[in-house]
Structure formats: structure tokens, C-alpha cells
Structure 1
């Protein structure tokens, strides 16, 4: 039995080349290819088009690889995503891994490495090169350090902000003024480089500050 693969790549020639390459592997077959995440999600509405592995580019039109991976993790958790991209931006690589990708490979990867990665993703659940492992460890260490720079009351505020309470209700529960709560919010956003409350909640869950 061969493992099924879907390719999400907006460059037709590369997509065709990848399909030919993967179909040459003894343990894999390509079901079809998509040009973007939006097309993939539409295809998934028919169960027969849901593969075991999605080979996902990061930079895609309409719906990029990070957004698509996040949706797959939530709605199709049985599907394993392996990111394959020319992207060298460490932030984006981390984002796609945090979104749920089981591994990342650059597009100039050797044929044998691609086959190995597909096998390991399917059989062990993930594949990380030494570079990506180092990147993940550095990110984890940095996040723990970020937690240390939050004051005790700021951490309490973050926990409260992870609930459905309004900022006004949080202020009341913490016996503080709404203006002080706004100050906590702005300080946390600046310290952790966050842009909104949703990002703060995600950060809190990922760093064990809050458990839903």
C-alpha cells in the first residue's frame, strides 16, 4: 500500500516535477496538486480527496501555507503537513511549524532527503533537520525568557485576558482601574511583541501560562 500525497504549489512546472519525483518513490503516490490553500480546502470537502500527507509551500496566493496548515490541524488533524519552500525567513518557518507542520524542507533538498522526510513524517509523525531542531530549541528558550520578563500582576492579567471577560470586567476582578489594565495590556504587547488579544491568548496557551 502506498501513502497518498497532495502537493500544494503555485508554480506548475515545479508541481509537475515534484509529482513525477514522488510517484517514483516506492511507498508514495500523488493524488493531485493544488495552487493554493483555498483550492485544497475546497477539495477536502470530498473525503476521497483527503490524503495522508500534504506537501505544502509556505508562500501561496489567496491562502498561504501557514493559514492552510492551521486550518488542517484544526479540521483534519489526521493529515500530516510537510512544508517545502524557498522561504529562509526563520520567523515564517517557525510560524508554519507552530501552525502544525510536521517538518520543513528547503526546495533545493536532495531527492533522498525528501523521500526520507516523507517516510518519517508518515511513520513517526515528524521530520526535523538539525537546523530546524536548533531553530525550535532557540525559539522555546526565547519564549521561556520572555515569560520571565513579565511581572506577576502582568501574568495574572494575561490569564484573565484568556477568558471571555471584557477588560472592564478584568479590571473589576483585579481591583484595578480600567486605565491600569490598559497599561498592563500595552506593556504585555510590547514585551512579547504581540499585536492583539488573540495573539496574547495563543502565546499564553503555548507557553503554559493558561490552560483552556
Structure 2
């Protein structure tokens, strides 16, 4: 079996060394090089042609997202695995939009790191459940925005505020006021007020009526 050739990219030397030690214990992995920023990673990829590049996101000279875009456009056979401390919607979505094949947080265990490396090296995607949830939410939001834009009147979403739209999407998913409050870092009273405002604006008789209007 051919080893998976990996290039490590992180601006922290201790992170690279730790990851290298972890991967070198594996018979199926070969660490072919290291880089401390996005620019150096691009140069090393051109020289070494690894199977997978592991990219940190926040680095000097060139970020991981910028590097991912260049790699995906110029070296499509090199798979990109983001390895970041950022569990943030914007970072995750931007990484995927710029060609990332997988996304792991830096507190990920060895077993899952190995699973991710093997998965992306085979040309498949690897996103843990919490990261997948963010990506799915973004796709649903974009889909809803497209539906609203395509509607002559804009539908129910044209009548309510962005925050109310966010709450309505969670109501449609079956969340109650307490669960919505926890997810959006709001008070239950604030969520209930938004719910009441939506019903008033749309003339919905109850929550079921509100949901029915939204999905029509």
C-alpha cells in the first residue's frame, strides 16, 4: 500500500512538531514536508506534490483560506484538510467555498485525524457532525434566500426581520423557545416576543399556521 504523502502547514512550530510525531507513528502516512505560512505551503506543494496538505487558517503572509483557494485551483489532485482552532461559521463556510475537502478542530483526537486523512486522500469529503451542521445550516439559509428572491412578493420572509427569519428557521426545524434561546444566546422572553411579532406581521393564527406559511 502506498503511503499518503502529507504536507503540514501551521505557523506554530510546536503544533507542526506535535502533528508530525503523531503521524509518523502511522505506517500509512509519510510527512514529506512542513510550512509555516500559506506562501511557503504553495511553494512546498509545487516541489513535493503531496496527496494531502494540512492547513491552519490564521497564519502570517497568507492565510489558510487564501492558500486553499490557490491549491484547489492549481493543484486539484492535492486534497486540503483544514486543521484549525476556529469553530466559527464564517471560517468553516469560507474554507469549504475555497476548496477545503475536510475541516477538523485542533482538539480532534488521533483516530479521527487518521480517518479524515484517509477519507480526503480518497477524494471524499470529511466533516465531523458539528462542522457538518454548520455547513448544512448555511446551505439551507442560501436555499431559503433564493426562494425568497424568486417569489414575486418575497413570501413570509420578506415581511420579517433577519433575526425573526433566523428564529423562524429554527421553529421549522422543531426547536422550542428555550432551545432557540440557547442556540442564539437570547432570553426566552426575547424569542417569544419575536414569535409574537412574526405572527402579528403575517396574520398567522398560531405557530403551526406560521410554519405552514413559511414552507409553502
1:116-156 CA distances to partner (integer Å, 9 max, x unpaired)? 11111112521111112211111111001111332689xxx
**Distance in 2, Cα, partners of 1:54 & 1:113:** 16
Give the superposition deviation at 1:45.
Answer: 3.4
The reply to whether residue 53 of structure 1 matches residue 59 of structure 2 is: no
The reply to whether residue 34 of structure 1 matches residue 29 of structure 2 is: no
Is the CA contact 1:5–1:52 (under 8 Å) kept in the aligned structure 2? Answer: yes
The aligned runs of 1:170-189 (5 Å cut-off) are none
**Distance in 2, Cα, partners of 1:148 & 1:125:** 29
Is the CA contact 2:79–2:123 (under 8 Å) kept in the aligned structure 1? Answer: no
Is the CA contact 1:82–1:104 (under 8 Å) kept in the aligned structure 2? Answer: yes
Q: Considering only aligned residues, what root-mean-square deviation do their CA atoms show, in Å?
A: 1.7
Q: Secondary structure at the match of 1:108?
A: coil
Residue 20 of structure 1 corresponds to 21
**Distance in 2, Cα, partners of 1:69 & 1:3:** 19
1:24-72 CA distances to partner (integer Å, 9 max, x unpaired)? 11210101110011111122333xx110000111111110010100111
| TM-score under structure 2 length normalisation | 0.67
Residue 63 of structure 1 corresponds to 62
Residue 111 of structure 2 corresponds to 112
Residue 79 of structure 1 corresponds to 78
Is the CA contact 2:119–2:125 (under 8 Å) kept in the aligned structure 1? Answer: yes
Q: Secondary structure at the match of 1:149?
A: helix
Q: Secondary structure at the match of 1:7?
A: strand
The reply to whether residue 9 of structure 1 matches residue 10 of structure 2 is: yes
**Distance in 2, Cα, partners of 1:129 & 1:43:** 28
Whichever of the two has the greater Rg, that structure is 2
**Distance in 1, Cα, partners of 2:121 & 2:42:** 21
Is the CA contact 1:80–1:125 (under 8 Å) kept in the aligned structure 2? Answer: no
**Distance in 2, Cα, partners of 1:45 & 1:105:** 24
Q: Secondary structure at the match of 1:96?
A: helix
**Distance in 1, Cα, partners of 2:109 & 2:66:** 27
Aligned in 2, Cα 1:122/1:6: closer, same or farther, shift over 3 Å? same
Residue 132 of structure 2 corresponds to 133
How many equivalent pairs are there?
A: 152
